């Protein structure tokens, strides 16, 4: 796909969520447009809105958020900046409670998950959520109850597509007894690859794999590390190379790098045009193992 100079994200290619919702593969994660500890408002609300608008201007048409980001603030800012979302898919998540900065607790009771969906509908000001993902399966509640209410909400027309987060292959297959799982959001990056079996399963099944914390580079970006070396060879930043590696790793990969900075949004968007050579891709793959 040919990218225009001012919309570089279009070079990342596309993916069909659920077979009928086409998005570009490089998205934006809206966790960082909140306060420290993902708690409270960001330092500058106008900057946060500008980041969202700039991301869309660069070609991003897939934005991932959650009711727990802020909490609620990320969804509110997305509505303020982007509603009515023409050509933009806004995915959100529910199923976590917040009691303070950096504190996250699963709550999967059906009545709470229903409330999560109803309130996200109001905050985003939509009649149907394009993609709603269970943020975590609550181990204290029968997962069948959690999957059951998700199925019900979809049948009621309040959710178009359903996804999961931080799950195993077995859990995906259990959920698929209730509804089509169109996305899985697990921790995955160049140096954290414990979810590789889940990624391989998603690749085989045509399920979108959304890696959270996608730009971690660890020691690979230190002086003399493979990322540092390739960065000096190419002029691309280590973060851009880490994202380019993800995009090449699987056709179902939908990275969602997040930031509260317009400059970093622009840097991340440019990743879509980065072409790793076979040698560079293999070197990164080998080093990260």
pLDDT tens-place values along the chain, 289 residues long = 455 679 999 999 999 999 999 999 999 999 999 999 999 999 999 999 999 999 999 999 999 999 999 999 999 999 999 999 999 999 999 999 999 999 999 999 999 999 999 999 999 999 999 999 999 999 999 999 999 999 999 999 999 999 999 999 999 999 999 999 999 999 999 999 999 999 999 999 999 999 999 988 778 888 988 999 999 999 999 999 999 999 999 999 999 999 999 999 999 999 999 999 999 999 999 987 7
Q: Tell me which residue of 107, 149, 109, 111 sits closest to 132, measured CA to CA.
A: 149
What was the pLDDT predicted at 4? Answer: 63
Tokens of 211: 């890696």
- Active site (annotated) includes residue 85: no
Task: Determine which one of 28, 69, 178, 201 is catalytic.
Answer: 69
What was the pLDDT predicted at 289? Answer: 75
**pTM given for the model:** 0.96
Q: Are 208 and 164 in contact (CB under 8 A)?
A: no
Q: Evaluate the omega torsion of the peptide bond into residue 244 and state whether it is cis, within 30 degrees of 0.
A: no
Beta bridge pairs of residue 134: 94, 164
* SS3 at position 208: strand
Tokens of 198: 């889940």
Q: Are 28 and 55 in contact (CB under 8 A)?
A: yes
Q: Are 248 and 240 in contact (CB under 8 A)?
A: no
Please check whether the domain covering 8-216+246-266 is classified as CATH 1.10.3720.10. no
What was the pLDDT predicted at 1? Answer: 46
What was the pLDDT predicted at 243? Answer: 97
* SS3 at position 228: helix
Q: Are 228 and 222 in contact (CB under 8 A)?
A: yes
Q: Tell me which residue of 19, 8, 29, 20 sits closest to 254, measured CA to CA.
A: 29
Q: Are 212 and 242 in contact (CB under 8 A)?
A: no
What was the pLDDT predicted at 210? Answer: 98
Distance CA 210, CA 186 (A): 7
Q: Are strands 96-97 and 105-106 parallel, antiparallel or unpaired?
A: antiparallel
Q: Tell me which residue of 165, 148, 143 sits closest to 91, measured CA to CA.
A: 165
């Amino acid at each position: 796909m040919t990218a225009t100079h001012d919309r570089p994200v279009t070079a990342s290619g596309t993916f069909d969520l659920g077979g009928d919702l086409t998005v570009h593969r490089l998205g934006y994660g809206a966790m960082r447009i909140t306060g420290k500890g993902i708690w409270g408002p960001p330092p500058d609300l106008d900057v946060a809105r500008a980041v969202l608008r700039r991301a869309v201007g660069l070609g991003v048409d897939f934005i991932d958020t959650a009711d727990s980001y802020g909490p609620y603030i990320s969804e509110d800012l997305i509505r303020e900046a982007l509603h009515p979302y023409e050509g933009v898919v806004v995915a959100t998540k529910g199923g976590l409670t917040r009691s303070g900065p950096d504190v996250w607790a699963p709550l999967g009771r059906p009545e709470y998950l229903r409330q999560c969906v109803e309130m996200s509908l109001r905050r985003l000001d939509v009649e149907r959520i394009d993609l709603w993902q269970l943020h975590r399966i609550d181990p204290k509640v029968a997962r069948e109850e959690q999957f059951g209410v998700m199925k019900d909400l979809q049948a009621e027309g309040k959710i178009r597509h359903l996804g999961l987060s931080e799950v195993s292959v077995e859990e995906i297959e259990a959920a698929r007894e209730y509804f089509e799982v169109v996305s899985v959001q697990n921790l995955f990056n160049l140096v954290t690859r414990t979810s590789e079996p889940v990624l391989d399963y998603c690749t085989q099944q045509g399920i979108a794999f959304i890696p959270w914390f996608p730009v971690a580079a660890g020691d690979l970006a230190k002086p003399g590390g493979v990322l540092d070396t390739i960065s000096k060879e190419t002029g691309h930043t280590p973060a851009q190379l880490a994202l380019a590696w993800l995009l090449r790793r699987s056709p179902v990969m939908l990275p969602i790098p997040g930031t509260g900075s317009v400059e970093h949004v622009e840097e991340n968007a440019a990743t879509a045009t980065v072409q790793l050579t076979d040698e560079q891709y293999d070197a990164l793959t080998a080093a990260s193992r």
